[in-house]
Structure 1
Amino acid sequence: MQPYLISQPGIRISLAELIEMRHRVREVQLFSSPSRRSPLIGLHHSKLRGRGVDFDQVRVYQAGDDVRTIDWRVTARTQEPHTKLFHEERERPIFLMVEQSRRLFFGSGLMFKSVLAAQAAALIGWAALGHNDRVGGLVFGDNEHYEIKPRRSKQSLLQLLNRLVRVNQSLHTEAVADRDTFGVALRRAREVLRPGSLVFILCDERALSDSAEQQLTLLSRHCDLLLLPLSDPLDHALPAAGLLRFAEKGAQLELDTLNPDLRQTYRAQGEARQARWELLAKKLRVLMIPLSTQREMVEQLRDYLNAQQPVKPK
């Protein structure tokens, strides 16, 4: 059996699982449609960078619609407020940057972080394709990266998902990683991405080095970003499990997880990583949706989007 066909739910991802994710797109409104506004509408509509808009249709006015788009002629005829809908020229590429490295090959929750990243990337990819956008991406691991040029085709997305599965299936704990795989991948993305692209970045929460932060800042000047840092509960707090011994390539480490100073220091490091991501998102004025292995991926996205929905007046 070829390694990329191995199925270990929660530990390894399969192509069938990523293809099946297309049926869950309807559970999460990532992009707007004529009848439904996405809370992430600003990602796809606010910074069109010179592109035009075309009239699409008229519908009944809804709370939150721009009053400047009210169609007064139809409103007068029907005696009910109506608003004009427009659609943008579909020329904005959607680019998925997905990490599949050794540091993601871990999880104490429902799944490994590498599986969580792959599932989220597949869901976003299918949603973008259903929105008639061009989809491509970059899958990066410990010492390699693979690029798929954005295209408006199912075959192109399947090519990206297949590459994602192959890299995921090759993950193992003995891999030797470059020091800054995330920064290298971001530099490559800056070389190949067209200005105005919408970039979804799925990476380990621990990947944010000084170099990576600099590359994200440069990338944000020409593209719109959505940051999705991935974490596991054990990234933020040690279990009270007594003395733990770790060994790797001849080196050994002992940790007394009942030591209160050690536990506090470990927790503080996790909180500092989270705060750094939040500060960066605020500085770059981009959206961030942290994802955890502790909860189901679609449920986390749905909760975030529901929290962004405008409150309807009573």
Structure 2
Amino acid sequence: MDTSEIIKKVRKIEIKARGLSQNIFAGQYHSAFKGRGMAFSEVREYQYGDDVRDIDWNVTARFHRPYVKVFEEERELTVMLLVDVSGSLDFGTVRQTKREMVTEIAATLAFSAIQNNDKIGVIFFSDRIEKYIPPKKGRRHILYIIRELLDFKPASVRTDVGMAVSYLTRMMKRRTTAFLLSDFYTRDDFTKAMQIANSKHDMVAIQVYDPRAKMLPDIGLMKVLDAETGHEMIIDTGSAKLRQAHTRYWVEREDRLHTLFAKSKVDWTSVATNENFTKALMLLFKKRA
């Protein structure tokens, strides 16, 4: 992709993502993702019913009557996007590839974050950490992130979700809101890594999938390629037994994912590449509000 084409795509994604974050997600994002805790705001005179643990003894001694510290929620967050850049994300049979949808979702979340005055960073991962972009604020920083999402070339095509989640736990010292964006085609069981990460941070998972992963069309012989192993084979989609086995595999895989996120106490949503991701994000935000 040449520079002018990247700039056009960045601009197009910016317009869409900024519009969504301003017009649709503004209030929902704010209420769904809470600040790190309580920050000191001011002192005032003690009133009946105030917690005696909040008394500011220095001010009380100075004025010879009790004063209490007043706290308010500390709104500013650090948001991290954990973005799967493995080979399976390049697959797409309908309107767009999984990677293109992940880019749009990531951009929308990024614009929602800076509108809320949050810092945003990114971890690109395959079966290794491909790139780490430290959290910062501002439009220029987000445009740089979108450019990287569009044009990033990973060193590996395989996936290891648990490794990426463990890296987040080690890297981020303060509590962070982290969005994990992936199709979750991974052979590792990342339950433990997710549980540890979610005890320290606020983890949210977003699965992006192609509708053909759920149900094969009846179109006869089809060549399929595993983007992460390079294995290629011909399958006969005219076989009802094969199509049923394919759907059964999908349902079992989704059940395992559902169980994993439930055990980890992680909120998650799933969206197909032929669907509008706005609805999925809105439902996710409302569930958390």
TM range (shorter): 0.7 to 0.9
Partner of 1:155: 140
Partner of 1:26: 22
Report deviation, 1:53: 6.8
**Long gaps (5+) in structure 1:** 8-12, 33-37, 56-85
Are 1:138 and 1:146, in contact at CA under 8 Å, matched by a contact in 2? yes
Partner of 1:35: none
Q: In structure 1, how many angstroms separate the alpha carbons of the residues matched to 2:218 and 2:199?
A: 44
Note the 1:122-133 alignment, pairs <5 A.
Answer: 122-133=107-118
Partner of 1:206: 185
Q: Deviations over 1:42-67 (max 9, x none)?
A: 5325xx4x533759xxxxxxxxxxxx
Q: In structure 1, how many angstroms separate the alpha carbons of the residues matched to 2:88 and 2:224?
A: 16
- Helix, strand or coil: the match of 1:41? helix
Tell me: CA distance 1:39–1:121, structure 2 relative to 1, closer, same or farther (3 Å): closer
Partner of 1:112: 97
Partner of 2:241: 261
Partner of 2:255: 275
Q: Percent identity?
A: 21
Partner of 1:187: 166
Are 2:214 and 2:247, in contact at CA under 8 Å, matched by a contact in 1? yes
Q: In structure 2, how many angstroms separate the alpha carbons of the residues matched to 1:250 and 1:200?
A: 29
Report deviation, 1:309: 9.4
- Helix, strand or coil: the match of 2:95? coil
Given the alignment of the two structures, is residue 292 of structure 1 paired with residue 278 of structure 2, yes or no? Answer: no
Partner of 1:88: 73
What is the identity, as a one-letter code, of the residue corresponding to 1:52? A
- Of the three residues 3, 10, 17, the one matched with 2:12 is 17
Partner of 2:31: 41
- Of the three residues 191, 202, 205, the one matched with 1:224 is 202
Given the alignment of the two structures, is residue 244 of structure 1 paired with residue 215 of structure 2, yes or no? Answer: no
Q: In structure 2, how many angstroms separate the alpha carbons of the residues matched to 1:273 and 1:138?
A: 25
Note the 1:52-91 alignment, pairs <5 A.
Answer: 52=39, 88-91=73-76
Report deviation, 1:141: 4.4
What is the identity, as a one-letter code, of the residue corresponding to 2:186? A
Report deviation, 1:189: 1.7
Larger radius of gyration: 2
Are 2:127 and 2:163, in contact at CA under 8 Å, matched by a contact in 1? no
Report deviation, 1:123: 0.3
Tell me: CA distance 1:303–1:152, structure 2 relative to 1, closer, same or farther (3 Å): same
- Of the three residues 81, 84, 87, the one matched with 1:99 is 84
What is the identity, as a one-letter code, of the residue corresponding to 2:31? I
Report deviation, 1:253: 1.8
Q: How large is the RMSD of aligned CA atoms in angstroms?
A: 3.1
Tell me: CA distance 1:252–1:284, structure 2 relative to 1, closer, same or farther (3 Å): closer
Q: Deviations over 1:249-308 (max 9, x none)?
A: 9965221212222212111111122112221222222211112101122243345556x4
What is the identity, as a one-letter code, of the residue corresponding to 2:151? R
What is the identity, as a one-letter code, of the residue corresponding to 2:131? Y
Q: In structure 1, how many angstroms separate the alpha carbons of the residues matched to 2:40 and 2:248?
A: 48
Report deviation, 1:96: 0.9
Report deviation, 1:24: 1.9
- Please report the TM-score for the alignment, with normalisation by the length of structure 2: 0.76
Tell me: CA distance 1:90–1:251, structure 2 relative to 1, closer, same or farther (3 Å): closer
Are 1:139 and 1:163, in contact at CA under 8 Å, matched by a contact in 2? no
Q: Deviations over 1:125-168 (max 9, x none)?
A: 0001000111111122466521111123333323322221221x
Tell me: CA distance 1:304–1:250, structure 2 relative to 1, closer, same or farther (3 Å): closer
Q: In structure 2, how many angstroms separate the alpha carbons of the residues matched to 1:216 and 1:309?
A: 18
Are 2:191 and 2:261, in contact at CA under 8 Å, matched by a contact in 1? no
Q: Deviations over 1:202-229 (max 9, x none)?
A: 111323631x333222211200011101
